[in-house]
Structure 1
Amino acid sequence: TGVASGIAQWENNAFPGDRLDQLDVTNGQVFVQKVDGPVQFFAQLGAYSLPDLGSPYIRSGKATGNFYGAFPQWFVKYAPNDSMSVLAGNLPTLIGAEYTFSFENVNVERGLLWNQENAVNRGVQVNYTTGPLALSFSWNDGFFSNRYSWLWGSATYTINPSNIVAFIGGGSVNTETVSSAVTPLYQNNEQIYNVIYTHTSGPWTLVPYIQYTSVPSDPQLGTAQRASTFGAALLATYALDGGYSVAGRVEYISSTGDANAGAPSLIYGPGSNAWSLTITPTYQKGVFFARGELSYVKATSTTPGFAFGPTGTNTSQTRLLVETGILF
């Protein structure tokens, strides 16, 4: 199985080095897996980009090389019974309500809250299910840092087939100074907590969630003041007849901290805030899919040089995208 897809994107107030309009590959990936027996595996191979609200677009050639490589996700799974399993490898994160790759999500771009979350981590994960309760615990390297200093857990409770609630939390247990394109210094040393609720009713799927993160004051990080973020989002999808659907997302995220006191920038400067609105009409027939997307981000209390545009002083960005491809 696999996915092949491409994107056309236009935006205003582009970041330095970004383009106002561009064409690119979002996914050129194949998947190999074994899902039966006590020893199972999954491997994902190929190229990808990670379209993301409020951040520069990184083209697939650069993204694949600088982020998770040509094998972004792979793991070996041992499942001795239906209730328990152990995974080891490059694992998908437990954090957040949005997934890493565009084809996995109802919107083409990931959202503002996703910017504070990791996506893929090297590590070990233990899963246990009993009745309506599913538990997961993970020891991993956070933001793909190759430093195994993150611990977290999740608890998901299925109230009934239409209502599911999840509690997720964890973070770094040791200060790590490694930093790269895929390992942001501050976020890789954070604590992060989610509460995610999923409700389905007829053609509707609603996913509201809240998120809190905290980055410590630490001389090794160059932070003289602790900073945190609080965010809330609603993802909604309405399925229509004939393979059509419409997805929407609204978000708000705020941050604390004072630049003069040595706080880190977690959004668009210390103490900045932002909100976003995204709408994504989609058509899918068989293996083929096509979708358009209009998104808008507005930032407030920004620090000059940390926001949008060539000088980092613009406070909003609009994007128009089209993504099309096949799932095979």
Structure 2
Amino acid sequence: MSRQVGLSLFWRVCLINTAVFLVGVVLLAATPATISSPVEASEVFLLAGWLALIVAANAMLLRVVLSPLDRLRQLMGDVDLLRPGQRLPEEGNGPTSALVGSFNAMLTRLEAERATSAGRALAAQEGERRRVAQELHDEVGQSLTAVLLGLRAVADRVPPDLAPEVLAVQETARASLDEVRHVVRRLRPGVLDDLGLVSALTSLAGEHARLTGARVHRRFSPSLPDLDDRVELVVYRVAQEALTNVARHAGAGCVELELTETGEGAALLLRIADDGRGMDGEPEGAGLRGMRERALLVGADLSFSTNGIRGTDVRLQIPLVPGPVTP
């Protein structure tokens, strides 16, 4: 941003005050009014009227000059880097406009730095998830499989009175193995890598219905565009977090999961809506803010609409036309 040259705010206020009082003095001198000694009551009212007029004019001019500072102070208190695009209009070419321009430029830099650092953190998180999932699959999963095979071999040779106990241990090991596999799928969605986004979302919907008993209505566009791996992972993680929130907090009986194109192919819309308890008045937790950070990585817009009676509607809209996407 170019550096604006002009009078400082201090000198502008001084000049405004000087001009107002000078005009007041000239107007008072040009009138036939006189001030006697001692001052009469009528003259007191005249002086008070002139003083009120000068103060009012001064206040109006200062309000015009300083009003951008009030808007700047309000934006500084409300700004949230997870909701980019909050800017003040740069009007005029005075010092307040230069200050507003500098603040807008600072917000742009902070948003870019926040998105970059969040991208690196989430990439590191995905890498760690992949490593942990691989270790769980290779180490814990194989160990539990070996335990199950050993218990199956032992179960054929134990006395009848010990068979129920061996069977109980075998069921516990099998349940533990299923839980490990479930954790591995959540840490790293292999179905996303192997079968694609639609199959991964279908798997999420089926798992949600199985765990919660809710009805899940799926709707996917028949011809979705090709998406890069990063966009697919963002869509999957947002859907996963949204369904997790529904399962934990909403108590919903019906969930809608949609992935469609909007605006004649200009954007991709992911929508997760439920009929459970809304979140009116509740602050955004780490899960929702994490969803916002992921949305920023692909230049997407994430919105929540909620009603205490009709549940929550989560929408992730990703532009498909070339645009400013944070690396």
TM-score, normalised via structure 2 length: 0.24
TM-score, normalised to structure 1, is: 0.24
Greater fraction helix: 2
**Which gives a bigger RCO, structure 1 or 2 (Cα 8 Å, sep 6+)?**
1
Higher strand share: 1
